[in-house]
Amino acid sequence: MPAHSHPRQRSEIADDAAEYRAGFLRLVAHLGLDAGAGARLAEGLTGRPFDACGPVELWPVVDQLRALVHEQLGRQSSGVGRDPCGS
């Protein structure tokens, strides 16, 4: 760390957490969830109010969503779960 650096202020950390929450809501919007549903999902998985979540709390949620998407894409490409009659 450079000698002239200073510790981050609480407001900077809070801004980072708010930016991460906003990014999380943009991510879940791509999955068809509105902001309220995305916040409730995060709250349910983290056990914390959404406004209190930051990267530490939301990263595992993002990781779980990524795994679910990959699993579903794998099922679709392999035909698992498809109707054998083609409907």
Where exactly are the structural domains of the chain? 11-76
Put residue 30 in one of left, alpha, beta given phi > 0 → left and psi -120 to 50 → alpha.
alpha
Q: Which of 18-32, 37-51, 54-68, 70-84 has the lowest mean pLDDT?
A: 70-84
Residues in the chain: 87
User: What is the rounded average pLDDT of the residues 57-85?
Assistant: 84
Percent of the chain predicted with pLDDT > 90: 63
Average pLDDT of 45-64?
96
Alpha helix (H) residue ranges in 8-80: 10-29, 35-46, 55-78
Contact in structure between 83 and 51 (CB atoms under 8 Å) = no
Confidence of residue 1 (pLDDT cuts 50, 70, 90): very low
Q: Model's pTM, two decimal places?
A: 0.72
Spatial distance between the Cα atoms of 54 and 62, rounded to a whole number of angstroms:
12
Computed over every residue of the chain, the mean pLDDT equals 85
